[in-house]
Amino acid sequence: MAEDPTDPELTLAAGDFSSWLDEMEGALRGDRRSDVPCDGCTACCTSSQFVHIGPDEVETLAHIPADLVFPAPRLPVGHVLLGYDERGHCPMLIDNRCSIYEHRPRTCRTYDCRVLRAAGLEGDDDKGSIAQQARRWRFSFPTRAARAEYDAVGAAAAFLDQHWDVISAASAPKSAIQIAVLAIEVHHVFLRHDEASGAPSVVDPDPEAVRTEVVRVMGATDAT
């Protein structure tokens, strides 16, 4: 029998949304690591995912056998991907634990499946274990601002999902995680702050403004 993600015994506290959002944005900027209360969960390590490693991650690359990585498509020389084994597991996952945890890639340090919950997305069909885990998270909203930020991230994700082929760079393939992360990075375009009270509210922005911000965030020069 499938687990019911709404069962109180199975739900997970994701924390105050505003605090989490601030931390997530910092992790995406590279200012900090993403602090995810995984509690032993290895869904992201066992879901047939390619892990991007940048050329500046020298220490990480020194701890991964060279034959396990290959050049990343559409990225400059030096960017590589770490693949997965025949089970769909990361090859650095040994005895259900990351064998290079202290030296793991930046992608792993910033990975947080709570972004799916924040964006109101179910996850990709071939990443069922991640989607199941993401559905268990429950954010708290102690302020009006927290709720408005949550609604803005959801609105951004819905917009990106609907218009992905128009605004994505180089016809990049669409994935739920990618949309969710990008929604975090551009959600401010969907917020307006009242000049008198400073209280935020969700707005329906000009699509061109969203596209411009996506291009800036993705660093793309050939978005269509």
In tens, the pLDDT along 167-204 reads: 655 445 567 888 898 999 999 999 998 776 677 889 99
**Within a domain: residue 52?**
yes
149 with 197, same domain: the answer is: yes
100 with 46, same domain: the answer is: yes
204/8 Cα distance (integer angstroms): 34
166/39 Cα distance (integer angstroms): 39
The number of distinct structural domains making up the chain is: 2
Please give the residue range of the domain that contains residue 180. Answer: 139-218
**Within a domain: residue 30?**
no
Sign of CA dihedral 150, 154, 160, 163: negative
**Within a domain: residue 11?**
no
Query: Is the pTM higher than 0.75?
Result: yes
**Within a domain: residue 212?**
yes
Answer with the one of 95, 111, 127 that is the final residue of a domain: 111
**Within a domain: residue 199?**
yes
**Within a domain: residue 8?**
no
Answer with the one of 73, 93, 111 that is the final residue of a domain: 111
- Model confidence at 61: pLDDT above 80: yes
Q: Look at residue 70 in the predicted model and tell me its pLDDT.
A: 94
**Within a domain: residue 54?**
yes
